[in-house]
Amino acid sequence: MALFFIYKPDLIIRKNDNGKLPTGPRDLVVPVSTGQAIERGLDSFLNTTGSLVPLETILVFPKVEARVKSVFYEVGAEVFPGDYLLESEETDFRLGIQEARMALQLDLSRLGMAETPKGPVDLEKLPNLVRAGLLEKNALAKMERVRRLGGAASIEDRDQADTEAKVARANLENSLLEAKAALAGVNYREAQLAIAEQRLRDSKIVAPESRAPGGVDFRPFLEKIPGRLPFVVLSRNVREGELLRFSHAEPVFRLGITQLLKLQFSLPEREFSRIALGMKGEISVEPYPGKVFPGVIARISPAADPATRTFQVELAVGNSRGELRPGFFARVQIATGKKEKALMVPQEAVYHFAGSAKVFVIFQGKAKSVEVKTGQRIVLTIGRLETWVEVSGDLKADDTLALSGQQYLADGTPVREKMSNGITPQSLPGNNP
């Protein structure tokens, strides 16, 4: 530019009417290319970022401490509810079952039973109670005979008969208490046996069943997936030969449902009114440039986080081919509606300076700066790709705008239109002026 000012000033600087060079910036005539602001219909989008997570994640912890015998699945394998994930050594658990069963048989033998009763027990029919009842009956009969003798029986005989009847009654009551205690012991031994058998079953870790993966909000999307829904082994923290121990810090397996993923992201509260359940979105991830994956808003948090003033949103994203992986960083664009009239300008018309955006309107050969706020960007094909920007400000459709040379312009700067982009509102596809 310095060389042009020195050697070819007439190309940039226009002389005044009296033939003299300009003396101030308002006398400098700046050549600019121009274009027009337009109004057109515009689909409204919400752009944000989030992370993909499994529809459901289940952490599997051991229930018993034992040495691992076999591990059946590696990371990345598919497993179905009910499949065995891990098997432990069973010797100690089988010995525990045998011990509990023998203790149960011992208590049953004290009651004169061969097996655990299935329903209510008539205690009076137990052998000990039958014997005690017969002794009481015999003592009462003897006491009755002595009383019938009247004066023929001595006082000593009457006292002895009464005492024997009372002792027999006490023995019967004591036998009843012992039978109740023995029966409670049988129930206790039976519970111990059940626990021992359960410990044996728990020595094998089984993939659990998830009845409502992701919650009821995702049920309509799950119904579209045919067949059984498998888990994927996301992580495995156990090896054969290790001793399993109780720990709530690290699970043995981490399982996840990945045929349907959730895209989780947060939105500021000012955007709450723009979204609704069922809105569709397009997801893009870096491993697949240029490819988009469809998603649908399935859940919106009913409350905003008071600390961040944001609320959580979840999209249901189909993943039947397994291309998407949990943990992917994703960009999402959600169609939130349509504006009937949006003011658009060519991208080249927007000039950014000192943190603000402005355009220069050309009117009667002079420039006027107008500060604007920018919105969405769209790409239109009109012979070539053109990028247009949604703006708002003191601007109207059909205004002529400077598309170049903005760094030399100020309010009132004379300009000379050297070329136009040739685009008119009527030439734009989909335009609703």
User: Over the stretch 129-175, which tens digit does the pLDDT of each residue have?
Assistant: 778 888 888 888 888 887 887 767 777 877 888 888 888 888 888 87
Structure tokens, 367: 């420039």
Of the CA atoms within 13 Å of residue 86, those in its CB half-sphere come to: 29
Residue 305: enclosing H or E segment and its boundaries? none
- Does one domain contain both 68 and 96? no
Mean pLDDT for back-to-back runs of 10 residues, the chain (433 residues) = 49 46 59 90 85 95 92 94 94 94 88 77 75 84 81 77 86 82 86 94 92 89 89 93 82 94 93 90 93 94 92 94 94 85 90 90 93 83 72 91 91 84 49 42
Amino acid 382: pLDDT = 54
**What CATH number is attached to the domain comprising 328?**
2.40.30.170
- Does one domain contain both 234 and 300? yes
Structure tokens, 15: 């002389």
- Does one domain contain both 193 and 100? yes
Residue type present at position 284: S
Q: Kindly report the length of the chain.
A: 433
Q: Is 72 exposed, middle or buried, given 0-12, 13-18 or 19+ CB atoms closer than 10 A?
A: middle
Q: How far apart are CA 236 and CA 254, in angstroms?
A: 7
Amino acid 277: pLDDT = 93
- Does one domain contain both 109 and 177? yes
- Does one domain contain both 218 and 151? no
- Does one domain contain both 300 and 366? no
| Domain membership flag for residue 344 | no
Structure tokens, 178: 């012992």
Instruction: Assess contact for 198 and 126: CB atoms under 8 A.
Output: no
Amino acid 76: pLDDT = 92
Q: How far apart are CA 285 and CA 330, in angstroms?
A: 5
| Domain membership flag for residue 432 | no
Amino acid 160: pLDDT = 84
Of the CA atoms within 13 Å of residue 192, those in its CB half-sphere come to: 18
Amino acid 134: pLDDT = 85
DSSP 8-state code for residue 374? E
3-state class (DSSP) for residue 56: strand
The domain boundary, picked from 183, 202, 221, lies at 202
- Does one domain contain both 79 and 225? yes
| Domain membership flag for residue 42 | no
Amino acid 6: pLDDT = 46
Amino acid 259: pLDDT = 94
Residue 325: enclosing H or E segment and its boundaries? none
- Does one domain contain both 13 and 59? no
| Domain membership flag for residue 165 | yes
| Domain membership flag for residue 107 | yes
Number of domains comprising the chain: 3
| Domain membership flag for residue 343 | no
Q: What is the DSSP string of 215-240?
A: -GGGHHHHTTS-S---EEEEEE---T
3-state class (DSSP) for residue 396: coil
- Does one domain contain both 196 and 54? no
Q: Give Cα separations from 307 to 90, 267, 274, 311 (angstroms).
A: 51, 13, 22, 11
The angle formed by the CA atoms of residues 405, 410 and 414, to the nearest 5 degrees, is 75
- Does one domain contain both 80 and 112? no
3-state class (DSSP) for residue 310: strand
Q: How far apart are CA 366 and CA 139, in angstroms?
A: 132
The domain boundary, picked from 311, 337, 363, lies at 337
Amino acid 23: pLDDT = 46
Q: Is the entire prediction scored with pTM above 0.75?
A: no
Q: How far apart are CA 433 and CA 426, in angstroms?
A: 8
Q: What is the mean pLDDT of the chain?
A: 84
- Does one domain contain both 252 and 323? yes
Beta bridge partners of 92: none
Domain that holds residue 405: 2-36+350-427
| Domain membership flag for residue 256 | yes
| Domain membership flag for residue 342 | no
Instruction: Assess contact for 37 and 397: CB atoms under 8 A.
Output: yes
Q: Give Cα separations from 24 to 207, 382, 412 (angstroms).
A: 82, 40, 12
The domain boundary, picked from 308, 337, 366, lies at 337
Of 347, 349, 314, 344, the C-alpha closest to 332 is 314
**What CATH number is attached to the domain comprising 417?**
2.40.420.20
- Does one domain contain both 218 and 332? yes
